[in-house]
Amino acid sequence: MGGDTIPTQTFLNLDQDKKDRIINAAMDEFSNNQFEHAKLSNIVRAAGIPRGSFYQYFEDKYDLFYYIFELVKDKKMEYLSDLLPNPEDKPFLVLFEELFTAGTRFAIENPRFVKVFSHVIDSKGEIYDQMVKTSLEYANTYYVDYIKNDQAKGRLRSDIDPYVFAKIVIDLTLNVSLDEFGISVEELDYDKMKQRITQIISIIKHGVTKGDANV
């Protein structure tokens, strides 16, 4: 019975310590390697369980990854969920700054999670299609509507293509926030990131040109 939970009931029955060891080992492997390069052999060795046991807990490698990736998404949602409902019609740039900040905080506080995430983003393979493509497309339309709304209210220049702007915003959050030349996620520092966000928002908001009113 209960044969179609994603991890098996057997896994859920495990004592917490063993579960933690497995999750930990998987997290390590998946944060250091893309899915296809992650090796079950490493995971079972690091977790200190026999290979055979693993297959009592999960269907296969993909199944494990799916489980881990859900953990990552859930964690990220903890950081973002308060911001998204948007009851009081915040300007888009305010929402953007809040999301950007929350996302950065998530990255700093959960570096391994972010690395798992980044591998999927970069992979652009099946896993990407199945696990994040839809979310990003959703974010895109969400942003586009938001931007159009702000344009209608005169908060944003109406000659800007909402799709292009939304794409920039998403790319910035995905890339700029997470890495820097030679600096890995583990070494991020909150104050520095906060400054960077302020800078980025300022550029997006006012542009880089000096003393120049916009068109």
Q: Which residues bind DNA (CB under 7 A)?
A: 9-10, 13-14, 18, 38-41, 49-53, 55-56, 60-62
The window from 19-27, 38-46, 103-111, 121-129 that contacts a second copy (CB under 8 A) reads: 121-129
Site for a second copy contains 181 (CB under 8 A) = yes
Determine, following the binding rule CB under 8 A, whether residue 94 of this chain makes contact with a second copy.
Answer: no
Question: CB pairs under 8 A, 24+ apart, for 104-107?
Answer: 104/177, 104/188, 104/190, 104/193, 104/194, 104/197, 105/79, 105/190, 106/75, 106/76, 106/79, 106/80, 107/177, 107/178, 107/185, 107/188, 107/193
Any contact of residue 129 with a second copy (CB under 8 A)? no
| 191 contributes a contact to a second copy by CB under 8 A | no
Residue (40 or 83) nearer to DNA, CB: 40
d(CA 84, CA 200): 21
Task: Give the bridge partners for 180, in sequence order.
Answer: 183
Residue span binding a second copy (CB under 8 A) among the ranges 21-29, 44-52, 57-65, 203-211: 203-211
Identify which of residues 57 and 143 has a Cβ nearer to a second copy in the complex: 143
For a second copy, give the closer residue by CB, 102 or 204. Answer: 204
Q: Cα separation of 158 and 147, whole Å?
A: 9
Tell me the chain's radius of gyration from C-alpha atoms. Answer: 20
Tell me the per-residue interface mask from 61 to 90 with a second copy, x by CB under 8 A, - otherwise: ------------------------------
Look at the chain and count its residues. 215
- Asked if 39 and 29 count as a contact pair (C-beta separation under 8 A), the reply is yes
Helix (H) or strand (E) holding 98: helix 92-109
Which residues make up the interface to a second copy (CB under 8 A)? 36-37, 93, 122-124, 133, 136-137, 140, 154-161, 164-165, 167-168, 171-172, 174-176, 180-182, 195-196, 199-200, 202-215
